[in-house]
């Protein structure tokens, strides 16, 4: 496909594996928290019977528009413009309860190919476009506005923390110096500025890769969103319900991994200890299998799949 085509497709990562992970019951209620272009959603709908339901969420208005026709055609499917962090509120609105309402939740985190490949979204250094980087273009501050108002220390911290970029301080200094001459407006301006500042290239990587990743994560509060959605997903699951999360970088995956490990851990205390039941940690999840990665065949067909890692867990009975 032409890289600059206006509406590039999204190739779904871990398609069968993710849908298998949800262990779909035909009359169950499922959540696709990251609709994108609906690859996972369509596969879930294929496994649902007439009484099943799928509640999909995306914060990107273009994803919502792309799924509107499916929502019109299929009465089992509804699509909501919301963030993952609003999962509980969406469940309350759609099912009447945010507690034990659904049989499975899937989150395929990060950006979609259409977001990356559309130059006017400003996510990619490969094209020249406005430095926007918001997944939800209806609200929030653009990368351009932030980059032109933040101070040097803030910029350095963001690029270091979310990009793990060794040259974060130097890049921040270069941004401030460039701002004296004029506003930084485009992806190309930023990519060139970073390219001049980052002296050592990682093999096969554009020098601006880490900076763009950092800004994107920061502008969309991506890590905070993961922190917010996980407990809401656990609350939303019925006993036996499945949670599957696909992460694309280690910062995100670390949050998922720690959350699942903690949720799967119960306190083992001597039975005669004089403490109240609500002071004891009860396991809410059971981890299912090992983390799943894309096969070699998938990675060679879709290089984006290389960094994907999916973790799966099941809601366990917590009533005592």
Rounded CA separation 223/133 (Å): 15
Decide: is 57 part of the binding site for ligand SAM (CB under 6 A).
Answer: yes
| C-alpha separations of 10 from 37, 145, 153, 232, 252 in Å | 6, 28, 36, 27, 21
Stretch in the footprint of ligand SAM (CB under 6 A) among 51-59, 173-181, 195-203, 309-317: 51-59
Q: Residue 5 Cβ, how far from ligand SAM at the closest point, in Å? A: 17
Q: Scanning residues 124 to 183, which ones bind ligand SAM (CB under 6 A)?
A: 135
Q: Is the dihedral of CA 144, 60, 87, 9 positive or negative?
A: negative
Q: Residue 298 Cβ, how far from ligand SAM at the closest point, in Å? A: 13
Decide: is 12 part of the binding site for ligand SAM (CB under 6 A).
Answer: yes
Q: Is the dihedral of CA 53, 234, 68, 110 positive or negative?
A: negative
Three-state DSSP class for residue 53: strand
Decide: is 249 part of the binding site for ligand SAM (CB under 6 A).
Answer: no
> Which of 98, 108, 132, 252 is close enough to bind ligand SAM by CB under 6 A?
108
> Which of 17, 132, 225, 252 is close enough to bind ligand SAM by CB under 6 A?
225
> Which of 52, 110, 122, 207 is close enough to bind ligand SAM by CB under 6 A?
110
Which tokens belong to 242?
A: 């499945």
**Complex with ligand SAM: residue 18 or 150, whichever CB lies closer:** 18
Stretch in the footprint of ligand SAM (CB under 6 A) among 52-60, 91-99, 126-134, 267-275: 52-60
Which residues does residue 77 pair with via DSSP β-bridges, in sequence order? Answer: 54
Q: What angle do CA 236, 48, 310 make, to 5 degrees?
A: 55
> Which of 84, 116, 150, 247 is close enough to bind ligand SAM by CB under 6 A?
84
Q: Residue 136 Cβ, how far from ligand SAM at the closest point, in Å? A: 8
Q: Residue 172 Cβ, how far from ligand SAM at the closest point, in Å? A: 26
> Which of 19, 21, 63, 158 is close enough to bind ligand SAM by CB under 6 A?
63
Which tokens belong to 196?
A: 């001049």
> What angle in degrees, to the nearest 10, is found between the helix axes of 222-236 and 87-95?
40
Decide: is 211 part of the binding site for ligand SAM (CB under 6 A).
Answer: no
Decide: is 121 part of the binding site for ligand SAM (CB under 6 A).
Answer: no
Strand pairing category for 29-32 and 102-108: parallel
Question: Quick one: which H or E segment has residue 238?
Answer: strand 237-247
Rounded CA separation 17/22 (Å): 9
List of residues contacting ligand SAM (CB under 6 A):
10, 12, 34, 36-40, 57-60, 63, 83-84, 108-110, 112, 135, 225
């Amino acid at each position: 496909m032409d890289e600059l085509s206006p509406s590039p497709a999204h190739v779904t990562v871990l398609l069968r594996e993710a849908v298998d992970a949800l262990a779909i019951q035909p009359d169950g209620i499922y959540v696709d928290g990251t609709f994108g272009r609906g690859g996972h959603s369509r596969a879930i709908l294929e496994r649902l019977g007439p009484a099943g339901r799928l509640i999909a969420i995306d914060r990107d208005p273009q994803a919502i528009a792309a799924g509107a026709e499916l929502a019109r055609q299929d009465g089992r499917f509804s699509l909501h413009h919301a963030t993952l962090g609003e999962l509980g509120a969406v469940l309350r609105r759609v099912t009447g309860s945010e507690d034990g309402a659904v049989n499975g939740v899937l989150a395929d985190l990060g950006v979609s190919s259409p977001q990356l490949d559309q130059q006017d979204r400003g996510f990619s250094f490969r094209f020249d476009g406005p430095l926007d980087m918001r997944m939800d273009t209806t609200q929030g501050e653009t990368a351009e506005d932030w980059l032109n108002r933040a101070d040097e220390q803030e910029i350095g911290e963001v690029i270091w923390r979310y990009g793990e970029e060794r040259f974060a301080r130097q890049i921040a200094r270069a941004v401030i110096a460039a701002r004296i001459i004029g506003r930084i407006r485009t992806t190309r301006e930023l990519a060139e500025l970073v390219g001049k500042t980052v002296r050592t290239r990682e093999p096969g990587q554009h020098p601006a890769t880490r900076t763009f990743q950092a800004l994107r994560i920061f502008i969309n509060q991506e890590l905070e969103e993961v922190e917010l959605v996980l407990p809401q997903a656990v609350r939303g699951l019925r006993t036996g319900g499945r949670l599957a999360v696909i992460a694309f970088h280690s910062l995100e995956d670390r949050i998922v991994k720690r959350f699942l490990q903690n949720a799967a851990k119960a306190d083992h205390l001597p039975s005669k200890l004089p403490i109240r039941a609500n002071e004891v940690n009860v396991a809410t999840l059971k981890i299912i299998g090992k983390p799943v990665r894309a096969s070699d065949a998938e990675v060679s067909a879709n290089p984006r799949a290389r960094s994907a890692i999916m973790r799966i867990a099941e809601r366990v009975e917590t009533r005592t």
